[in-house]
Chain A
Amino acid sequence: MTENIATRDAYGQELLALGAEDPRVVALDADLSGSTKTSLFARAYPERFFNMGIAEQDMMGFAAGLAAGGLIPFASTFAIFAAGRALEPIRNSIAYPRLNVKIAATHAGLTVGEDGASHQALEDVAWLRAVPHMTVLAPADAVETRLVVRAAAARAGPVYIRLGRPAVPVLFGADYRFEIGRMNVLREGRDAVIVANGLMVAAALQAAEILAAEGIEAAVLNGASVKPLDTETLLFWAARAGAVVTAEEHSIIGGLGSAVAEALGEGCPVPLERVGVRDCFGESGQPDALLAKYGLTPAAVAAAARAAVARKK
């Protein structure tokens, strides 16, 4: 049986490990440490953990100052408050001066679930991707999350890490490797390419199975590194297959789908179908019910692939 682990849990574990290795690592939270899992770090390193209360903008300003003082701050809260509430302090006080702040934002996307639209960040990748100097990473599972957190800590400059609330299948083994700016090819295929990130990677892999049963061989690329995007790998597989699908737990505006569309438009114009939330807000409900209602399922990804393949000249 596949083990299910939330990417926020993996983040908490890896932050704890980094804390042991590097005294420069500090953590900040905005009264959600139990949910973002910075509580693990807080218990182990109370002198390096700072709860800022419900004040996300202030948290980003403090993080900027801590980074300017030579530390490596990880600032965590829900994605809607990190990327949304605090966007302009992130832009001006962190990204503009390229300060070494890591923003680990949990509870991204629809799968926040019952809390509803006010808490479901569906635009955070779009917001952060547009900010110069910012790296944007959206890992698929617990294994990749730990590698992403480590890569973020090792990278000089600001990084946004997009994490989820629900337990998701562990897809990758101990030999899995992650590199910022590189797409991992999870499955090869000559008929279509599915580029996915976050929990939609699992859906993409299932969609590829569905398609294979129909005789459509779909490659699956992991778009965890939304920015920088590995256009070389993307264009290679897009040219080979001639049809592309993107899948993300995010608005189809401004996220992975847009990043892929921009790269294809400039480098390899082929039919593209985007699976994501279609320019609307979410709502309350169980995560799986929301994913089904908003079309973020393996069946929806497979349907999008069929549509893209059908549009090939």
Chain B
Amino acid sequence: MTEAEIEALARAVRRDVIRMVAAAGSGHPGGSLSAADILAVLYSVVMRVDPARPDDPDRDRFILSKGHAAPALYAVLAERGYFAPSELLELRRVNSRLQGHPDMRKIPGVDASTGSLGQGLAIAAGLALAARVTGRDYQVYTLLGDGETAEGMVWEAAMAAAHYRLDNLTAIVDVNGLQIDGRTADVMNPAPLDAKWEAFGWQVVETDGHDPGALLAALAVAMRTRGGPTVILAHTVKGKGVSFMENRAEWHGKAPNAEQTALALAELEGGAA
């Protein structure tokens, strides 16, 4: 898959996100849009997964620690063929498989149930450790929010993953700089993220979280690294691709109205994401 095709997938994911959240009348567009390129890169060329065999014990795993970006995860799974894209509009409805936050028992391709922030890294690390115990050769990827790193459990898991030298584990932080209550730097400043992760024993790679080529290069570094885990600090724009949502904290967890939805879809139609 070419970078242009990855970009096209990311655009499709963004359009799906807007349609899903609009149809549901609630959800988290901002952090879903910031994560769209990361998910598109992972599910198009990086992860060894087969949508027809979502339970393959040798598959690579992805855990959405920032579970509120579920619309983006569902969209990329549907676009890759794990289930029908027509189901996407059932997000957040009663009796739907598409829960507001990911449920691994309902949707094929979801590798952990998440939503309560701070827990995905520990689950991912446990899965990475399980590969060692069971003699399997798979990679585990997890995506965290930068605001999420205020959770203490993130750093418990970071310490343990380095202690157990989990080099099949890659964490990606979606550094969009915003959280519900405002700028992450104002709410609870996580800076310096690079020095923190380094101090916890991780290899740190900084990259543009919207550039497929840069993300691929960063993930290649993580894949090559032996002896310990890698974190990719992916610098992103919250609400990326929809002008009136970009860098606006109020779009963390709000659905667009009909007019805004039309405007957002027009911006995402065909053009560069």
Q: Kindly provide the distance from the CB of B39 to the nearest chain A CB, expressed in whole angstroms.
A: 20
- Interface stretch, picked from B42-50, B105-113, B208-216, is B105-113
Question: Most chain-B Cβ atoms within 10 A of its Cβ — which of A55, A57, A63, A93?
Answer: A93
Bound Cα distance A188, B122 (Å)? 49
Q: Is A64 in contact with B156, judged by CB distance below 8 angstroms?
A: no
A interface with B by C-beta (< 8 Å):
26, 47-48, 50, 52-53, 55, 57-58, 60-71, 73, 88-89, 92-93, 96-98
Seed contacts A62-B122, A69-B127; 8 additional CB < 8 Å A-B pairs = A53-B159, A61-B126, A65-B126, A68-B104, A68-B111, A89-B153, A92-B116, A93-B112
Q: Is B122 in contact with A65, judged by CB distance below 8 angstroms?
A: yes
B interface with A by C-beta (< 8 Å):
57, 61, 103-105, 111-116, 119, 121-131, 133-134, 136, 152-153, 156-157, 159-160, 163-164
Bound Cα distance A26, B127 (Å)? 13
Q: 16 A-B contacts, Cβ less than 8 Å apart?
A: A53-B163, A61-B153, A64-B112, A64-B119, A64-B122, A64-B123, A65-B124, A65-B126, A66-B130, A69-B126, A69-B129, A69-B130, A69-B134, A89-B116, A93-B113, A97-B105
Instruction: Known A69-B127, A92-B113, A97-B104; judge A58-B133 contact (CB<8 A).
Output: no
Bound Cα distance A50, B157 (Å)? 13
Question: Most chain-B Cβ atoms within 10 A of its Cβ — which of A61, A67, A68, A92?
Answer: A61
Closest to B140 in A: A65
Q: Is B57 in contact with A70, judged by CB distance below 8 angstroms?
A: yes
Taking CB atoms, residues of chain A closer than 8 Å to B133 are 26, 47-48, 66, 69, 71
Checking B125, B131, B153, B160 against A53 with a beta-carbon cut-off of 8 angstroms, the contacting residue is B160
Q: Kindly provide the distance from the CB of A165 to the nearest chain B CB, expressed in whole angstroms.
A: 26
Taking CB atoms, residues of chain A closer than 8 Å to B115 are 92
Bound Cα distance A71, B127 (Å)? 10
Q: Kindly provide the distance from the CB of B5 to the nearest chain A CB, expressed in whole angstroms.
A: 31
Taking CB atoms, residues of chain A closer than 8 Å to B128 are 65
Q: Is B160 in contact with A96, judged by CB distance below 8 angstroms?
A: no
Taking CB atoms, residues of chain B closer than 8 Å to A26 are 133
Taking CB atoms, residues of chain B closer than 8 Å to A88 are 116
